[in-house]
Amino acid sequence: MALDKNFFQDVYEVVKLVPEGRVTTYGAIAQYLGLKSSARMVGWAMNQAHVVSGVPAHRVVNRNGLLTGKHHFETPQAMQLRLEQEGIIIVNDKVQNFDTLVWYPVKELL
């Protein structure tokens, strides 16, 4: 599947639905969009999210709860700071209590 603006926009629309104080994963978004094994494609879309208004990109982490996208923010600490402002505890770049905070759009939206 070729990456296009429609795919990126689909990703951003899902990310906009992630509730404050929760996180989701690249893979969970891919699964919801019907591209179960395309988490990397979601990552590429998220790398460009900083130019799109209203996309809470800080709420998207890897499948283990790690802040792997932090280098795409204005500073490497910005992602963690935004999550902490929402009450999420981060230790060593990892979301604590990840299993209780992760939001799966395929479960929540279908």
- The tokens 């599947």 sit on which residue? 1
pLDDT at res. 1 = 45
For residues 85 and 48, give the distance between their C-alpha atoms in angstroms, rounded to a whole number: 23
How many residues comprise the chain?
110
Q: Is the overall model pTM greater than 0.75, yes or no?
A: yes
Containing 61, the helix (H) or strand (E) segment is: strand 60-61
- For 13, the 3-state DSSP assignment is helix
CATH numbers and ranges of domains, the chain: 5-106 (1.10.10.10)
Neighbours of 77 (CB within 10 A): 13
Q: What is the pLDDT of residues 29-85, one digit of tens each?
A: 999 999 888 999 999 999 988 778 899 999 999 999 999 999 999 999 999 999 999
